[in-house]
Structure 1
């Protein structure tokens, strides 16, 4: 458990003593695919680290429709900022997209540890500030770019420059919600990219044939902009 904590961006600069304290209060959970972790409005007593699998964070509309807010992957934490609120409650629901192992970290005890060390406070503040910067970039991506641009950005962000192919690790409907496009719009964009010879797709496997053309559709001005693509924020999830 300590090694999992040490390899997490949010916690990587904690001392061995602090990591041991966090691990002593931590609880490992093993969840099946589709299992709920918490619901919107539940008391927020813990924040979480995903060790394996995936968690989707989403809000429920009055009609029962879901809006995916974040997809949390291994090595990422979520709900950590809630520890700074009085009587916090989770603002979203959380459920697994695959069999998942995660660590529940006692938020109250972690906050108490922060009060004992100003240096630790600054470390956590730095991580949360990077998270905020990522969220600002995501707002820009969702409000200033077209659906085709958002899909193109996602594809580029998930395929390193030294590779041409990758496999989608989430269902297309979940991904469409994450990118704030309708499932039919997502399918139409993928078909257009395929018809134009920019990508090929076989099941969940996507091959990028024309990276430059895809970059033009993504409306990128610099490679670093890829860091603001939804699902690519590595310092945590859910403010």
Structure 2
């Protein structure tokens, strides 16, 4: 994927919540250690075991983080969208990547080098607190996922996922539509379900009148009614 229009890295960095407390000269220093990465749909950004020399910010597009089991089964760990960052924890651990990253659509990323981040952390402790907060949120989500996989049925996991994907201000609305961010197989893996199990549950929810499936669009006639079945 090629671009004829160079982006303004400093402008992009200044709009990231992680860096919004930094002065222009601090942003400029980080920008010098930042490069653009273009990924076409299907491209592998990095493989498990590759060295981690910084972290990535997704400017636009969509990425998945996943690993492959010894049996060859793929497990999706996270689906990332515009504005999200990833790789910070591995960067701090100074370990190789433990997952692979693949573009789900044409994407533009920024790679912010470890050296630039570490230099700035020496100067600005607020940046360190923000990065810790971001990683803590990621860890909390991971713990929530483990709890869901362990204690909740497949049906409860799918209903919980649909409720999390609701558009803003529609928590108790009727006739809400959720647009799935990617194909059902990837979402099924993210929820620790097989694609067949995922499809079967969608069919059951449809028969119960809780949802109407139209491709990647999931129409919900009544959010409160769906919520009652969350368990």
Scaled by the length of structure 2, the TM-score of the pair is 0.88
Q: Is the 8 A contact 2:19 2:127 kept in 1?
A: no
**Residue segments in structure 1 that go unaligned for 5+ positions in a row:** 220-239
What is the root-mean-square deviation in Å for CA atoms of aligned residues? 1.7
1:18 is aligned to 26
1:107 equivalent to 2:130? Answer: no
1:72 is aligned to 80
Higher relative contact order (CA 8 A, sep 6+): 1
Partners of 1:128 and 1:15 in 2: CA distance: 23
Aligned pair count?
Answer: 218
1:89 equivalent to 2:89? Answer: no
Which of 118, 122, 134 does residue 127 from structure 1 map onto? Answer: 134
Bigger strand share: 2
- Relative to structure 1, is the Cα distance of residues 52 and 45 closer, same or farther in structure 2, using a 3 angstrom cutoff? same
**Residue segments in structure 2 that go unaligned for 5+ positions in a row:** 1-8
Instruction: Give 1:2 deviation, angstroms.
Output: 2.8
Q: Is the 8 A contact 1:33 1:97 kept in 2?
A: yes
Deviates more, 1:170-179 or 1:16-25: 16-25
1:149 equivalent to 2:152? Answer: no
How do residues 210-225 of structure 1 correspond to structure 2 at under 5 angstroms? 210-219=222-231
1:6 equivalent to 2:6? Answer: no
Larger radius of gyration: 2
Scaled by the length of structure 1, the TM-score of the pair is 0.85
Partners of 2:24 and 2:89 in 1: CA distance: 22
